[in-house]
């Protein structure tokens, strides 16, 4: 099993997109990329910890490739809006790929370059690609939030 970590705005809808994929074994929502150890949702929402809301995806590379996960990531949000997705504003909603290996970093950078060259977006892609640091699991009520409430999606979804 391998891990992939993505920040694409509010983690509820992003998690729901990844949970649909065959080969994804587990997802967890949480916080990454900040300076505070074990932050709470309230800490992260203060926009003072430096964390992004993220989804940590555990996947079976024999069943789904990292490139396929990158495709879902790019389609699940607008990577051209800095620190914002839909109505959610703040650095915790930034577009980010947290890589777990040099191979993931190379694949993420190549994927971003292809997307930039495609002309799909009129504005520059602002997605940061950085090595994964500590992942802090969000409070239990955030895990599979939409699924627990019988909701198919929130404002984040496939574009």
Domain that holds residue 10: 2-148
What single-letter DSSP state applies at residue 92? Answer: G
What's the total number of domains in the chain? 1
Is residue 85 predicted with pLDDT exceeding 80? yes
**Between residues 155 and 85, the one the model is more confident about:** 85
Question: Would residue 154 show up in a list of annotated catalytic residues for this protein?
Answer: no
Phi, psi of 73 (to 5 degrees): -55, -50
Confirm whether 154 is domain-assigned.
no
> Which residue shows structure tokens 């490139």?
67
Mean pLDDT of 43-58: 95
Confirm whether 127 is domain-assigned.
yes
Confirm whether 106 is domain-assigned.
yes
Confirm whether 159 is domain-assigned.
no
Options 4, 7, 9, 10, the catalytic residue: 10
* Residues 53 and 31: beta-carbon distance below 8 Å: yes
Residue 114 CA to residue 59 CA, distance in Å, equals 23
Confirm whether 157 is domain-assigned.
no
Residue 129 CA to residue 65 CA, distance in Å, equals 18
Confirm whether 158 is domain-assigned.
no
Structure tokens at 32: 């990454």
Which CATH number characterizes residue 95's domain? 3.30.1060.10
The pLDDT, as a whole number, for residue 108 is: 98
For the entire predicted model, the pTM comes to 0.91
């Amino acid at each position: 099993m391998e891990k992939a970590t993505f920040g694409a705005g509010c983690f509820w809808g992003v998690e729901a997109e990844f949970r649909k994929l065959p080969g994804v074994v587990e997802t967890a929502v949480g916080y990454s990329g900040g300076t505070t150890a074990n932050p709470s949702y309230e800490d992260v929402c203060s926009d003072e910890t430096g964390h992004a809301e993220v989804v940590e995806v555990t996947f079976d590379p024999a069943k789904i490739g990292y490139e396929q996960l990158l495709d879902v990531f790019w389609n699940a949000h607008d990577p051209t809006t800095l620190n914002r997705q839909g109505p959610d504003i703040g650095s915790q909603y930034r577009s980010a790929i947290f890589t777990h290996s040099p191979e993931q970093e190379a694949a993420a950078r190549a994927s971003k370059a292809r997307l930039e060259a495609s002309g799909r977006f009129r504005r520059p892609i602002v997605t940061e690609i950085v090595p994964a640091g500590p992942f802090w699991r969000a409070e239990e009520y955030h895990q599979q939030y939409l699924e627990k409430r019988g909701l198919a999606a929130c404002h984040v979804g496939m574009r």
